[in-house]
Structure formats: C-alpha cells, structure tokens
Amino acid sequence: MDKVLLVIPAYNEEKNIRKVVGRLVEDFPELDYIVVNDGSRDSTADICRQNGYNLLDLPVNLGLAGCFQAGMKYAYLKGYQYAIQFDGDGQHRPEYIGAMKDKMDEGYDIVVGSRFVEQRKDWSPRMLGSRLIGAAIRLTTGAKIKDPTSGMRMFNRSMIEEFALNLNYGPEPDTLSFLIKQGARVAEIQVEIDERLAGESYLKPMVAMKYMTRMLISIFLIQNFRKR
C-alpha cells in the first residue's frame, strides 16, 4: 500500500476519531493517513494531539470542500500517488482500500466504494435522491454511477493535482460529474458502509432535500459554465 494517503476530514468528531484512527494504527499500519481538523469546536484536535495522530489542524472551519482540498494539497506536496476520502465518523471500512487500489491500477482515475455494485437500492427517500443524482450524471455524461453519493472515493495522482492546484472542488457528486466530463475514468467496487459510530449526520430530511436539489441544479446547469 505504498504511497496511499487516507484524507480524514473531521469536524466535531470527538466521539469517533479515537476509534477510527486507533483502528487504522493498530490493524492497518501500512496505510498512511492525515486527520484534517476543520476548525472543530470540540476536543477533536486535542484528542489527536494527545494520541500522537497525524494532524493537519485548520484554524477556522472551511467546510467539507476547503477541508478536503487542504488534505489533497498535503497529499500532493508529500508526493502520494493515491489519496482516499475517508470519513472520520466510522462509516468507512479500511479493509476495502486494497481492493480499491487494485481496481484503480487497471487504469482508472477515480474509484468509488459503492454500496450498489452487487446489491440493489431500496426506495427510501434517501435512495430516491441517490437515484435522481445518478440519473442526472448519466444524462449529462453518459456514465452510470450506481452510488454517486458515496463518500468513499479514491483518487490517483492526476486527480490529487486537480483538487490541490485548481478549482476549490468539493468531494461531491456534481464534482464527480464535472471530472467525468473532463475525461476522468471512474469505476466502482462493492463495499459495506456502516452507520456512524456516534453523533448525528448533518443530512437530516430537510437538509438532504436541499442537498439533492443543489446537486441536481449543479449537474444540469452550473457544470455547463464551470471552468478548470
């Protein structure tokens, strides 16, 4: 797993970060990681310092886009060939990273850890949103992405450079759509995504609805005017 970096955005993850990073350190020592503390108001950064975790401590909250870009700049400057977006809430499983890298080595730029390569989506409101976003990406790019809202994504060196040096990309489905339009090759592998260890997801029903609407507007309209 040489030259793979886990970028772990963390905002107010004091209840989860010790378990997430502790498991990496104990069970997957071959994996490099960086916790990007996004101006947390709780003790996330203190926990990382006390335990000697690799920490990039942002002085203010930049939001997911700025936080992730900071991690990708770190990956770029340190010469990593691969970087993976890895949540600090315990949802992502590190045991799939090897398979994601193997898939990427077949010639892909982005590999998505997907819940729906081998399994079918249900028809819950949340999965309806995922279906709509996936349909929007397919209509505008021709690419079939079965799990466009998965936050577990691996990027190769050229994609690291895109995030680090060009637009302030957010690691979201509309950015995935934009990169596909720019020629990025995307694959998916089957993974299991766990429920967050503690705390509440920010994607509550009304927030999730606004998120879906924003993604659809961005994919259908804004992406046509977006420049690198």
pLDDT surpassing 70 at residue 104: yes
Q: Which CATH number fits domain 2-222: 3.20.20.80, 3.90.550.10, 3.40.50.720, 3.30.365.10?
A: 3.90.550.10
pTM to 2 decimal places: 0.91
Domain boundaries of the chain, sorted by first residue = 2-222
C-alpha–C-alpha distance, residues 11 and 5, integer Å: 19
Note the pLDDT tens digit of each residue in 189-227. 999 998 877 765 555 667 888 999 999 999 999 887 777
Note the pLDDT tens digit of each residue in 126-156. 788 899 999 999 999 999 999 999 999 999 9
